Amino acid sequence: MLSRTFPRLAPPPEANARFAVVVVALWFWILGWGAAALSGPGGERWWLCLAAGPIAWVALLIGWRLRWRLAAQWLLLAALSVVCLLAWQGAFFGTSTVLVLAVLVVFAGWSMGIAEAALVAGAVVLLGGGLAYQGRTHWEQVLIVGYVMLFLLWLTFRMLHSYSAQMLQLQHSLDELGRHKKQLGVLFQAVEQSQDSVLIVDLQDRLVYANQAFEEHSGLQRSAIVGQTSLAQAGLGPQERMQVQDAVQRGQVWQGVVNSRRQDGVQVTESVRIAPVTDPDGDLSHLLEIRQDISELLEAERRIRHLQHVDAVTQLPNRKALLQRLDMLLQQQPASPQECHALLLLEIDRFQKFIDARGSQWSDALLQAFVARLQSLLPPSARLARTSASQFAVILERVGKTRQGARMHSYAVAEELQQGLGSIVCLQEVPETVQLSCSAGFSVFPFVEPGLQADAGDHVLRRASVALSQARHQGGGQVHAYSEALAATAQRRIELEKGLHVALQEGQLQLFVQPQVDMMGRVVSVEALVRWQHPVNGMVDPAEFIPVAEDTGLVVPMGDWVLEQTCRLLSDPRVQQGGYRVSVNVSAVQFQQAGFVRKLQELIQRTGVDASRLTLEVTESLLLQEVEQAIQKMVSLRALGVHFALDDFGTGYSSLAYLMRLPIQEIKLDQTFIHDLTPQSHGAVLVEALLMVAKGRALRVVAEGVEHKAQAQLLQAWEPGILCQGYLFSRPLPASEWLQAPDLSGPQALRTW
């Protein structure tokens, strides 16, 4: 309870002890020598009084050399001892003795603490009790001295308590001031180091404070502008100043964007916030103004908006800007209900080859030269945009009153552009003339497609892209217009792609075989074919879904499935016993896969088939790229026993050149040579030459597309060991049906035309 009422009395500081020791030592010295002078020389009392001087000197020396609190203890003990001896020899309660004892009690409390003062007071009372017991004084005097000592202790305690409370309060105030000073220092440094201009203005519009950022941004010296007027709220008009006054009067913050001019005349855009500052009573006293230079930020935003709509290489509008322009044209009310526009897409053929051969920097320079030439060829009303790496869009506005007229005009413009863009001078490093060809596709709009309520920019671009895709598939350098038939074809390809994914997952693919017969009409080998049995649409034509599979990459999983089924067919006991050979076509995409050899080797080991009965049919397209790598793979598979056949032999350009290098065992004559084959036909000479080449290399020959008996007889007359494959002998039939025939090599195994 006392600790809550009175604070704990801390020991007096060293400064108090120093002051008390100096004062009391001098006083004790003077008092002792004065008493010695009055008592006369000689005697014990005279010597005891003279001892006050050395005692005082020793106390001062101890305080000066060591510690003043230690000096106070020495002075207290020595002085108390001298006074006690004097009191024991003479009258205890003389005036001088009581005065000295009182001073010593106060001195002990002030220099060392209340506990030391209580010990001194207790020693005095004990001294008085001893004297009264010896009969040297009266007990009443001892009681009076005890009351005096108690009063002095209480008075000393109150003094020390008040002093300690003041010291604690002072220390608390100093700590608070230190914290406030530190906080103010941090705030000041934060404001000074802020990148934004900070101003403080009084109600008379005089500048009270400006930070370093304002000095740097404005070019004005703070020492010269503090105290001046009309420096704040620069760039604000009269109406904005009234808005500021209304906002700060309501205690709100005003915020806005203003344009101002710096000291050097540069125009800047700043974001300004003006907030009221109130005094402790809540009255408005100052205004705080914060300015942030947002000129660079606005420029960056403008640049970003520019890049969102402009191509960085050619500085043409990009795809997004093109779609916005198309939508705007479609939303505008045309001058004539029959007025038509056209969107023309131009794409540089085989542009990726330029990038691969010369690099992106040279290709960018070529694109810039291409755009410059294209802009010179276009009519002034045409709008040009870049939609992809090598694709450009041209909007031809008001090109015809009818769709047919607009189509004819657009076709003429596209052909004129193709002719003018055939030769481009690239100015990168050394000027170089580059021969180009472009594919073009266009669509006339507005045109509301079936199932839609209105035309839109993305629909127009999609239709033109369909036309461009058709022009590319025609070999490049072509112009094609959009038609509903093209849209149906594109939609059909999308449906086939989606359906192929499902077919691979749900097992809709089936393995068919088509027999290959010798001159005796016996089945010697079969070709494995893939067929797609759609659960709703029935059998899908391979000419439809196989090109889609090759374009989308689905030919790889589909080819893996066909190889798996072919090896299972080869592992059938009847096929093994008959020694039949099975050939299967492998696409170039599948064969070029890095793990093709390893996968086929694992498949052969897993199924346990005789690899020498497996023939892989490859086309000349396999040899157009990475020839050495393809030959290395063929050699690796030949080591396993696998045979190779060159499919569509004679239709390409490099077959004869590579024939001597390829590890093949069979060639297949394309059906284009067999279709009109007669002894007098032009193709007969070529077929005979191909058969002679095969005979010279000891290669098996298979003729595809044999549909008439005369064709088979002529081929067998030229080459008795030739194998014939075609509708004359059998259509492709399910592999399971062929395996169910009583004799796999006999007539029962054939499904005739």
pLDDT at position 335: 45
Q: What's the gap between Cα 307 and its chain centre?
A: 20
Q: pLDDT below 50 — which residues of the chain? A: 1-8, 91-93, 335, 653-654, 753
Ordered by where they begin, the domains of the chain are: 2-169 (no CATH), 197-299 (3.30.450.20), 310-482 (3.30.70.270), 507-749 (3.20.20.450)
Give the per-residue pLDDT at 142: 62
User: Alpha helices of 112-138 — where are they, by DSSP H?
Assistant: 114-133
Mean pLDDT, the chain, rounded, equals: 79
* 372 contacts 435 by C-beta, under 8 angstroms: no
Q: What is the pLDDT of residue 334?
A: 53
State the pLDDT at residue 496: 84
Q: Is the dihedral of CA 657, 659, 663, 667 positive or negative?
A: positive
Q: What is the DSSP letter of 310?
A: B
Write the DSSP assignment of 465-517 as a string of letters: HHHHHHHHHTTSS-EEE--HHHHHHHHHHHHHHHHHHHHHHHT-EEEEEEEEE
pLDDT given at position 209:
81
Query: Contact at 8 Å (CB) between 525 and 566?
Result: no
Residues 730-742 pLDDT 10s: 899 999 999 888 8
In angstroms, the CA 725 to CA 709 distance is 12
> Quick one: how far is CA 591 from the chain centroid?
38
Largest Cα–Cα separation, the chain = 173
Q: Which 3 state secondary structure label does DSSP give 203?
A: coil
- How far apart are the two ends of the chain, measured CA to CA in Å? 121
Distance, in Å, from the CA atom of 514 to the CA atom of 584, rounded to the nearest integer, reads: 11
pLDDT at position 617: 92
The CA-based angle 441-444-445, given to 5 degrees, is: 135
pLDDT digits (tens, 9 = 90+) for 138-155: 666 666 666 666 666 666
